[in-house]
Amino acid sequence: MIEVIPAIIPDTFQLLRSEMMKVNEYVSLVQIDVIDGQFAPEATWPYNDDIDTRIFSEIIDQKRGFPLWDKLQFEVDLMVRNPEDMIDDWVMAGASAVIIHASSTDNHEEIFSRLAEQGTGIGLALKPSDSNNIIDRFIKYIDFVQVMGNDEIGYHGVELDPAVYKKIADIRASYPELLIAVDIGVTFKTAPELVKVGATRLVSGSAIFESENIEAAIQTLSKSSN
C-alpha cells in the first residue's frame, strides 16, 4: 500500500498550523522539514525567529501542545548539522519518527540508539549522490530509508533527479521488505514510476499544497500504483 505524506516547510509556527489543518481530514501523518540554515538553506521554524523559538520551547516544556497533537501525527526531517543536539527536543515535542540525513553527522549509532530507547521511529535520508552502501551500516537500526529526489534539499518545487529511479530500484533489490520514502520531485507524473521501481511512501509538498483540490491530489498520488 502506498502512503502519501504531505511535506511542510514551515517558515513560521502559524504557517505550520495552517498547513496541518489543510490536510488533517485526509491523512494521519505529515512530515515537517526542519532546516537550520547550515546543513541546508534557509532556516525554518523553530530556528529562524525569536518569537517562534519561544513557542517551541513552550511545546518542549509541555506548556503548549503541538498543533493538532490529538488529531494528526508528525515526523520530522532534520535537515540540520549535528542532529544529535536536537533530537531530544523533537521527541519531547511528540514526533512519531525522526529522519536523520546520512551526511549530517558522524554520530549515527548514538542518535539511533537514543531514538530507539524513546520508542521513536527512525528514518535514514540519502541524497542521490550518497552511496546506497550506507544502508548496510544502519539497517539494524532504521525503520525506513528516505531517498531525497535531488541533492538540492530544503527548497520548494525542485525537480526529481532521474538517477533516483535506479537508486530506488537498487535499494529495493537489496532490501525487499524495507520501507522506501521519496521526498523532492514527487509529482503526479513521477509518482507512478517511483512506485514502480520500489517506493512505498510518497512525500510531497508542492503537488499537494499548490493543488486546487488537496483531497483529490492526495487521492491521485495514493493511486500511483494502479
Confidence (pLDDT) at 226: 65
What type of residue sits at position 66? F
Region 209-219: mean pLDDT is: 96
The secondary structure of residue 107, as a DSSP letter, is: -
Minimum mean pLDDT range among 39-53, 57-71, 201-215: 39-53
The secondary structure of residue 210, as a DSSP letter, is: T
- Where do we find the cell 532490501? 175
Number of domains in the chain: 1
102 grid coordinates: 546520512
CB 59 within 8 A of CB 36: no
Based on the number of CB atoms within 10 Å of its own CB, is 92 exposed (0-12), middle (13-18) or buried (19 or more)? middle
- Domain limits for position 97: 3-222
pTM over 0.85: yes
**19: preceding bond cis by omega (within 30 degrees):** no
Confidence (pLDDT) at 151: 94
Give the residues across from 144 on adjacent strands.
123, 179
Q: Could you tell me the pLDDT band of residue 51, with boundaries at 50, 70 and 90?
A: confident
| Separation between Cα atoms, residue 32 and residue 24, nearest integer Å | 14
Alpha helices in 32-143 (DSSP H): 50-60, 87-93, 108-118, 134-138
Terminal-to-terminal C-alpha distance of the chain: 11
- Spell out the residues 6+ positions from residue 171 whose beta carbon is closer than 8 angstroms to its own: 132, 135, 145, 147, 178, 180, 198
135 grid coordinates: 544502508
- Where do we find the cell 500504483? 225
- What's the mean pLDDT when you consider all of the chain? 95
Confidence (pLDDT) at 120: 98
Region 81-110: mean pLDDT is: 97
| CATH classification of the domain holding 136 | 3.20.20.70
| Separation between Cα atoms, residue 146 and residue 126, nearest integer Å | 6
